[in-house]
Amino acid sequence: MATQQRTIDFLLEQATGVGGVTAKPMFGEYGVYVDGKMIGSVCDDQLFVKPTKSGRTYAEPVSDAPPYPGAKPQMLITADRWDNAEWLGELLRVTAAELPTPRPRKPKRGA
């Protein structure tokens, strides 16, 4: 089951206080980014956030699950916690702060 657009719209609306939060379609699901850093994904209408020390401490209690078969487990943020926009925004902020900045992409050859 693919993620519904209304799920993405709701999560982005809840995270408006963070600034720079986007979601990009990826293989029928979505990657979630904060200021260009991929901090997690939304798969089957469930939010998965990359585990960081600060993020895990902030999100406790939290369980881990793979977003899709064969993936590394990530923190599964249950839907009942999405309603607290301030809490969700802070989780995304502390997670992004601990993740490395992505390397710039090389230009495509022949383009």
Q: Where are the domains of the chain?
A: 5-98
pLDDT value, residue 110: 66
Integer Rg of the chain from CA: 14
pLDDT value, residue 65: 97
Work out the burial of residue 35: count CB atoms within 10 Å of its CB; fewer than 13 is exposed, 13-18 middle, 19 or more buried. Answer: middle
Domain 5-98 has CATH 3.30.1460.30: yes
- Here the tokens at position 84 are 């607290």
pLDDT tens figures, 34-74: 999 999 999 999 999 999 999 999 999 999 999 999 999 99
What band does 17 get if pLDDT is binned at 50, 70 and 90? confident
For residue 61, the SS3 value is coil
Distance (Å, whole) CA 68 – CA 44: 9
Average pLDDT of the residues of the chain: 92
